[in-house]
């Protein structure tokens, strides 16, 4: 399992993919939403809300308006472009936007690098468990903490 950071072309591709998805689903990708998405995907490790606010202020050369930024983050989460990692209260870009709703994350406790993984058998297991319990799933995000190869060897 490699947990390398994304290359420039991968970043461009994920930004382009979000633009395409928004276009075909008639979702308004406003400038602020796009800026927030770019900041989240360009960060190699999960990013916190206040860090996003700081970066937005720097880009636009004026203090950011927190509610607007939070609404942009909510939009990105609702549409599956961004995930929230509750265990570390941070945001990450989705590796395959719109392709899934269930995913799980391996998060290094030391350097915060992460990997998003999808596993259909896990997904099936979870939905069967939900059906058995008369439970309707709206979103599944599993967070698994540990150490990446580099950090475990240090
Ligand atoms: Zn995802
Ligand atoms: Zn690590």
Residue 78 lies inside a defined structural domain of this protein: yes
How far is Cα 72 from Cα 34, in angstroms, rounded to an integer? Answer: 8
pLDDT of residue 54: 96
Residue 87 lies inside a defined structural domain of this protein: yes
Residue 62 lies inside a defined structural domain of this protein: yes
Q: Quick check: 27 and 21 in contact, CB under 8 A?
A: yes
More confident residue, 63 or 95: 63
**pTM to 2 decimals?**
0.85
Q: How far is the CA of 62 from the centre of ligand 1 (A)?
A: 31
Residue 29 lies inside a defined structural domain of this protein: yes
Q: How far is the CA of 44 from the centre of ligand 2 (A)?
A: 12
Could you report the per-residue pLDDT of 61-91, keeping only the tens digit for each? Answer: 998 899 999 999 999 998 989 999 999 999 9
What does the block give as tokens for 73? 């983050």
Residue 2 lies inside a defined structural domain of this protein: no
Residue 3 lies inside a defined structural domain of this protein: no
CATH number at residue 47: 1.10.10.10
Q: How far is the CA of 96 from the centre of ligand 1 (A)?
A: 5
Q: Which ligand neighbours the alpha carbon of 5 most closely?
A: 2
Q: How far is the CA of 74 from the centre of ligand 1 (A)?
A: 15
What does the block give as tokens for 68? 């607007």
Q: Quick check: 31 and 70 in contact, CB under 8 A?
A: no
Residue 96 lies inside a defined structural domain of this protein: yes
Q: What is the mean pLDDT of residues 19-25?
A: 93
Task: Tell me the Ramachandran region of residue 20: left when phi exceeds 0, alpha when psi lies from -120 to 50, beta otherwise.
Answer: alpha
**Which own/partner contact pairs does 132-141 have at CB distance under 8 Å and 24+ positions apart?**
139/101, 140/101, 140/102, 140/103, 141/83, 141/84, 141/85, 141/86, 141/102, 141/103, 141/104, 141/105
What does the block give as tokens for 108? 């290094």
Q: Which ligand neighbours the alpha carbon of 79 most closely?
A: 1
Counting the structural domains of the chain, the total is 1
Q: Which range of residues forms the domain containing residue 65?
A: 8-153
Position 1 confidence tier, pLDDT thresholds 50, 70, 90:
very low
Q: How far is the CA of 146 from the centre of ligand 2 (A)?
A: 8
Residue 57 lies inside a defined structural domain of this protein: yes
């Amino acid at each position: 399992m490699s947990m390398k950071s994304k290359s420039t072309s991968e970043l461009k591709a994920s930004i382009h993919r979000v633009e395409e998805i928004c276009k075909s689903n008639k979702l308004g990708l406003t400038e602020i939403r796009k800026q927030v998405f770019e900041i989240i995907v360009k960060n190699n490790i999960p990013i916190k809300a206040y860090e996003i606010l700081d970066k937005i202020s720097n880009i636009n050369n004026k203090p950011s308006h927190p509610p607007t930024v939070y609404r942009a983050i909510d939009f990105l989460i609702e549409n599956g472009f961004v995930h929230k990692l509750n265990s570390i209260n941070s945001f990450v870009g989705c590796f395959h936007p719109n392709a899934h709703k269930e995913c799980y994350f391996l998060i290094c406790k030391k350097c915060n690098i992460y990997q998003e993984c999808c596993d259909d058998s896990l997904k099936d297991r979870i939905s069967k468990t939900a059906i058995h319990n008369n439970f309707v799933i709206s979103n599944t995000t599993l967070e698994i903490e540990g150490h990446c190869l580099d950090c475990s060897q240090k």
